[in-house]
Structure 1
């Protein structure tokens, strides 16, 4: 199943820089693993924001929730999920 996911990251300004850097490094490693596994085939930055739009390709709502909730930055995110279906005019 395909999902369009919008993530907005809001790290508290009170978080020590070293802790923020550690969490961001963990986030990068985890997200790259999901990309390599094919669960996160598209990831785009939103210009001028600490946010992204992503496409996830996972087997179920539960699988998506599991993947998202394991993101190290998950506690600091606002996430919007839109399930996707094939468009009847698509040539793919």
Structure 2
């Protein structure tokens, strides 16, 4: 199942810089593992925002929920999920 996921990051302004960097490093490692596994095949930065659009390819709503809730940045994310279906006019 394909999902379009928008993630907006809202780190607290008073979070110590070293704590923020540690969380971001764990986030990067986790997201790159999911990308290598094929569960997170596309990841795009939204220009001018601390946000991204991502495509996830997972087996179920429950799997997506688990992957998202395990993101180290999850407590600081505003997430919007849109399920996707193949378009009949797509050549892919």
Per the TM alignment, residue 54 of structure 1 is displaced from its structure 2 partner at its CA by 0.2
> Which runs of structure 2 are paired with 1:58-73 in the superposition (5 Å)?
58-73=58-73
What is the aligned partner in structure 2 of residue 27 from structure 1? 27
| TM-score, reference length from structure 1 | 0.99
Q: For the residues of structure 2 that align with 1:86 and 1:41, how far apart are their CA atoms?
A: 16
Per the TM alignment, residue 15 of structure 1 is displaced from its structure 2 partner at its CA by 0.6
* Runs of 4+ off more than 6 Å: none
1:83 alignment partner, SS class: strand
Q: For the residues of structure 1 that align with 2:69 and 2:13, how far apart are their CA atoms?
A: 22
Q: For the residues of structure 2 that align with 1:88 and 1:47, how far apart are their CA atoms?
A: 30
Q: For the residues of structure 2 that align with 1:30 and 1:18, how far apart are their CA atoms?
A: 19
Note the alpha carbon deviations across 1:34-66, whole angstroms, 9 max, x for none.
Answer: 000000000000001100000000000000000
Ranges in structure 1 where 5+ consecutive residues have no aligned partner:
none
What is the aligned partner in structure 1 of residue 53 from structure 2? 53
Superposition CA RMSD, Å: 0.4
1:14 alignment partner, SS class: coil
Confirm or deny that 1:13 pairs with 2:9.
no
Q: For the residues of structure 2 that align with 1:87 and 1:48, how far apart are their CA atoms?
A: 30
